[in-house]
C-alpha cells in the first residue's frame, strides 16, 4: 500500500494487486470487466444515477448513494477501455469523504493463461476518507481473489456463469413456481424448458434478471430460439414472468422508455445521455424483455455500476480524448462489422474490418472520419476539435440478442397469447421488411355444394389448423383468415418459402384423410416494408408489399407458389429455389402501374411425381 503526502488531512491511498489466472484472457476479461456482476457478487450497495446536459452539448453522469447517515455523491466521467486489454474507471466525488477513486486494470494474454495487474487509488478528502480508503484497499484484494477463484471453479465445471448468487427462494415462492411450471408444462409452448427457466430465476444474479433476453438465454441453454421465446411468452401468460416493451436509444443502446403494453409506446423519445430525439422503431429499437414475477422473486432495481465494458459488452473500445490529443492504444479486435461514433451527439461511421492495420479514427466536433491506418496491433485515435470527445468502437452484432417488436409480433404464439396487445387507434408503425403469404383453397366452392355447408366448413377449419401449424413451425404467424385462405407474415423470406413448400407437399395427404376432399392450394409470396395497424382489435399489416402478395396468389393454379422476382433475389430463397424448375414471366396486376416480374414453382410430393 502506498500513502501519498498529507496536506490539510488530504491523503492519496493507492495499492497495486497482481493475479495469475489459469484460463485465456477472454475469460479473465469476462470477470474483471463485468463490474455490475462482481459488484453484486461482492455485496456492494446499489446506487441511483442521473444525467445532466451541459452547455457545450456534452452530458455528465452523476451517482448518489446513502450509507447509514452518510450521503456519497459523485460524477462518473466516461470509462476508458479496450476489450481484453485494459480499462480505467474514475469517480469524482462532490459529497462524502473522498475527492476521487480510480480503478485501473491491465490484462496480459499468455495463451492458455493470463494475468491481471489492478490498481486502486483513493484521493481522500479528510481523516475519515483516509481511514475508509485504507480499509477498502486492504479488503479489495481478498474480494478480487475470491471472485477469480469462484470463476475458475465455474469454468472447470463448464458452467456458463462466472459469478454466483446467494439468493435463497422462500418455500412459498417455490410452491408458486412449481404450480405455475405445471400449468406451463400443460401448454403447447413449454418445449421441455420450464424447469430450466425456474432454475435460472432462482440461481442467477439480479443483474441477469432485470431484463431477461430469451434469444441470449436460448444460446446459453443450447436450445431452439423459437421454443425459448414461446416458453417466455407462455410464462408471462401463466404468471411466472412479467414482460415489458423497452425503447432503446439507437446510439447508446440503453433503455430510455418502458411500457407494459405495445399500445402505450411513446411516439417520440429523448435520450439525455446522447442528447438526441428518436422515434420508436419496431425493427430495431423496440424490445420485448422479461423479468420474474415479484411473487416468485422480487428484483430490486438500481446500479451496481452504471457504465463500463460489462454494461455494454458490444462496445469493444472506448476512450476519452482532450482537444488536440492523439493516442495509440493496444487492440484485440476481431474481424467484423463495427460502428465508430462518439458518446456525444454527432456522426456515425460504419466499417467492415477484415484484419490487418485498423483504420485511424479522427474526430472533429460532430464529425467522425477515417484518417489512414493505425500501426499493426494498435488503434490510433485523434481529436482535431476544440472540445473533449469520447470515441466509441462497437460491434454491430448487438441486435442479435434483442427480441424486437417486429420479430415478436410476427410469431403465432404472441398473437395467440397476447391478442390484447394492440396499437392505439390511429397509430401506424413502420415495419422495415416482412415476408407475406396469401393462400387460397382451390376447389372449396364445389366442396360446399357436394358435402353441405357444415361439413365443408369443418374441413376448411381443419385446413386452417394444419396450415397454421406449418406457419408456426417456420417462425411465422397467421395474421387473419380471408375466405378459405390465410394471410401470414414471416420475419424472413426463406421461412415463408419453406412453409409454402411444406403446405403444398402436405395437400395430397390432407385430401386422403377426407374421402370427400379433392382440393389444392395456391400461394402468393412477396417481401417488403409495410405499416402495422390495429384492425378489429388485432395487429394487421397494410402497404404495397401486402397488396402485391395478395395479387400474386390469384395468378396461379392449384399447387403453384407464385413469387415476385424481388422475393426470389433473397440469397437464402435462391438456394432453396435451385432445386426447382422456375417459370418466369411478367404480368400486369390490378393496382400496379408497371408490369410485375414473377417466378412460379410447383412442388410435388413423391406420390404426385409417380402419378
CB 24, CB 298: distance < 8 Å: no
**What is the pLDDT at residue 534?**
67
Within a domain: 129: yes
Within a domain: 19: yes
CB 83, CB 94: distance < 8 Å: no
Element (DSSP H or E) covering residue 16: strand 12-21
Cα 421 to Cα 246, 405, 580, 591, 603: the distances in Å are 15, 11, 40, 32, 37
Higher pLDDT, 111 or 399: 111
Within a domain: 6: yes
CB 352, CB 334: distance < 8 Å: no
Query: Exposure of 140 by Cβ count < 10 A (0-12 exposed, 13-18 middle, 19+ buried)?
Result: middle
pLDDT tens string 224-262: 999 999 999 999 989 999 999 999 988 888 888 888 878
Within a domain: 341: no
pLDDT tens string 358-384: 999 999 988 999 998 999 989 999 999
* pTM attached to this predicted model: 0.78
Within a domain: 375: no
Query: Exposure of 235 by Cβ count < 10 A (0-12 exposed, 13-18 middle, 19+ buried)?
Result: buried
What is d(CA 312, CA 330) in angstroms, rounded to the nearest whole number?
20
Give 474's contacts (C-beta < 8 A, 6+ positions apart): 490, 495, 496, 498, 499, 502
Q: Give the residue from 156, 180, 202 where a domain finishes.
A: 156
Cα 218 to Cα 183, 200, 213, 243, 347: the distances in Å are 21, 12, 9, 17, 35
Q: Give the residue from 156, 171, 192 where a domain finishes.
A: 156
Count of domains observed in the chain: 2
Residues paired with 317 in a beta bridge: 82, 393
- CATH code for the domain in which residue 545 is found: 3.30.70.1230
**What is the pLDDT at residue 117?**
93
Percent share of the chain, pLDDT over 70: 94
Beta strands, E only, 374-484:
378-383, 389-395, 429-442, 476-482
What is d(CA 87, CA 318) in angstroms, rounded to the nearest whole number?
9
Within a domain: 280: no
- CATH code for the domain in which residue 69 is found: 3.30.530.20
Q: Give the residue from 123, 156, 189 where a domain finishes.
A: 156
Residue 78 DSSP class: P
Q: Distance between the two ends of the chain, CA-based, in angstroms?
A: 88
Within a domain: 571: yes
Average pLDDT over residues 67-93: 90
Residue 570 DSSP class: S
Within a domain: 263: no
- Say whether pLDDT at 175 is over 60: yes
- Grid coordinates representing 510 are 390432407
CB 329, CB 318: distance < 8 Å: no
Confidence band for 212, pLDDT divided at 50, 70 and 90: very high
CB 237, CB 180: distance < 8 Å: no
Average confidence score pLDDT of the chain: 87
* Crossing angle of the two packed helices 225-237 and 214-221, in degrees rounded to 10: 120
365: helix, strand or coil:
coil
Closest among 279, 280, 292 to 245, alpha carbons compared: 280
Residue 125 DSSP class: S
What is d(CA 383, CA 343) in angstroms, rounded to the nearest whole number?
13
Closest among 332, 379, 304 to 83, alpha carbons compared: 332
**What is the pLDDT at residue 393?**
94
Give the domain extent around 78: 2-156
Map 246-276 to HEC letters: EEECCCCCCEEEEECCHHHCCCEEEECCCCE
- Grid coordinates representing 224 are 431452439
Confidence band for 400, pLDDT divided at 50, 70 and 90: confident
Residues paired with 255 in a beta bridge: 248
**What is the pLDDT at residue 3?**
59
**CA-CA-CA-CA dihedral for 403, 406, 408, 409, to nearest 10:** 170
Alpha-helix runs per DSSP H in 514-602: 544-553, 565-568, 571-577
Amino acid at each position: 500500500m502506498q500513502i501519498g503526502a498529507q496536506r490539510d488531512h488530504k491523503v492519496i491511498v493507492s495499492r497495486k494487486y497482481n493475479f495469475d489466472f489459469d484460463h485465456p484472457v477472454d475469460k479473465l476479461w469476462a470477470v474483471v470487466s463485468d463490474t455490475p456482476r462482481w459488484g453484486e457478487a461482492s455485496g456492494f450497495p446499489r446506487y441511483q444515477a442521473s444525467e445532466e446536459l451541459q452547455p457545450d452539448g456534452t452530458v455528465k453522469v452523476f451517482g448518489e448513494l446513502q450509507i447509514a447517515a452518510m450521503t456519497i455523491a459523485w460524477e462518473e466521467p466516461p470509462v476508458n477501455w479496450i476489450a481484453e486489454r485494459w480499462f480505467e474507471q474514475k469517480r469524482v466525488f462532490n459529497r462524502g469523504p473522498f475527492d476521487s477513486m480510480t480503478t485501473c486494470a491491465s490484462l496480459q494474454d499468455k495463451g492458455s493463461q493470463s494475468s491481471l495487474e489492478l490498481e486502486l487509488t483513493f484521493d481522500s478528502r479528510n481523516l475519515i476518507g483516509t481511514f475508509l480508503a485504507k480499509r477498502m484497499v486492504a479488503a479489495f484484494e481478498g474480494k478480487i481473489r475470491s471472485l477469480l477463484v469462484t470463476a475458475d471453479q465455474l469454468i472447470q465445471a463448464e458452467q456458463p456463469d462466472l459469478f454466483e448468487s446467494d439468493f435463497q427462494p422462500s418455500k412459498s415462492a417455490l410452491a408458486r413456481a412449481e404450480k405455475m411450471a405445471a400449468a406451463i408444462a400443460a401448454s403447447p409452448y413449454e418445449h421441455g424448458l420450464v424447469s430450466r427457466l425456474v432454475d435460472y430465476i432462482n440461481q442467477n444474479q439480479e443483474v441477469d434478471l432485470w431484463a431477461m433476453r430469451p434469444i441470449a438465454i436460448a444460446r446459453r441453454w443450447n436450445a431452439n430460439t423459437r421454443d425459448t421465446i414461446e416458453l417466455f411468452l407462455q410464462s408471462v401468460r401463466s404468471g411466472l414472468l412479467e414482460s415489458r416493451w423497452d425503447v432503446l436509444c439507437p446510439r447508446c443502446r440503453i433503455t430510455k422508455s418502458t411500457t407494459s403494453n405495445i399500445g402505450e409506446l411513446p411516439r417520440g423519445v429523448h435520450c439525455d445521455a446522447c442528447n438526441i430525439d428518436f422515434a420508436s422503431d419496431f425493427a430495431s429499437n423496440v424490445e420485448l424483455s422479461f423479468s420474474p414475477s415479484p411473487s416468485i422473486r422480487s428484483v430490486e432495481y438500481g446500479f451496481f455500476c452504471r457504465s463500463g465494458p460489462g454494461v455494454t459488452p458490444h462496445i469493444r473500445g472506448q476512450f476519452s480524448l482532450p482537444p488536440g490529443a492523439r493516442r495509440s492504444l493496444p487492440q484485440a479486435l476481431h474481424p467484423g462489422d463495427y460502428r465508430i461514433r462518439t458518446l456525444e451527439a454527432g456522426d456515425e461511421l460504419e466499417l467492415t474490418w477484415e484484419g490487418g492495420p485498423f483504420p485511424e479514427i479522427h474526430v472533429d466536433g460532430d464529425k467522425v472520419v477515417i484518417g489512414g491506418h493505425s500501426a499493426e496491433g494498435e488503434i490510433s485515435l485523434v481529436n482535431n476539435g476544440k472540445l473533449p470527445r469520447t470515441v466509441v468502437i462497437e460491434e454491430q452484432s448487438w441486435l442479435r440478442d434483442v427480441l424486437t417488436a417486429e420479430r415478436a409480433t410476427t410469431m403465432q404464439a404472441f398473437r395467440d397469447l397476447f391478442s390484447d396487445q394492440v396499437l392505439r387507434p390511429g397509430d401506424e408503425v413502420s415495419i422495415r421488411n416482412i415476408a407475406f403469404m396469401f393462400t387460397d383453397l382451390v376447389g372449396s366452392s364445389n366442396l360446399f355444394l357436394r358435402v353441405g355447408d357444415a361439413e365443408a366448413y369443418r374441413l376448411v377449419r381443419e385446413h386452417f389448423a394444419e396450415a397454421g401449424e406449418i406457419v408456426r413451425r417456420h417462425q411465422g404467424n397467421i395474421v387473419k383468415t380471408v375466405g378459405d385462405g390465410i394471410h401470414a407474415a414471416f420475419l424472413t423470406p426463406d421461412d415463408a418459402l419453406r412453409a409454402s413448400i411444406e403446405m403444398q407437399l402436405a395437400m395430397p395427404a390432407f385430401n386422403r384423410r377426407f374421402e370427400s376432399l379433392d382440393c389444392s392450394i395456391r400461394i402468393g409470396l412477396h417481401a417488403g416494408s409495410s405499416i402495422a395497424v390495429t384492425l378489429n382489435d388485432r395487429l394487421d399489416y397494410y402497404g404495397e408489399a401486402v397488396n402485391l402478395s395478395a395479387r400474386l396468389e390469384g395468378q396461379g393454379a392449384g399447387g403453384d407458389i407464385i413469387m415476385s422476382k424481388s422475393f426470389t433475389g433473397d440469397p437464402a430463397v435462391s438456394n432453396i429455389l435451385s432445386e426447382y424448375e422456375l417459370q418466369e414471366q411478367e404480368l400486369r396486376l390490378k393496382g400496379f402501374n408497371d408490369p410485375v416480374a414473377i417466378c412460379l414453382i410447383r412442388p410435388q410430393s413423391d406420390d404426385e411425381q409417380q402419378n
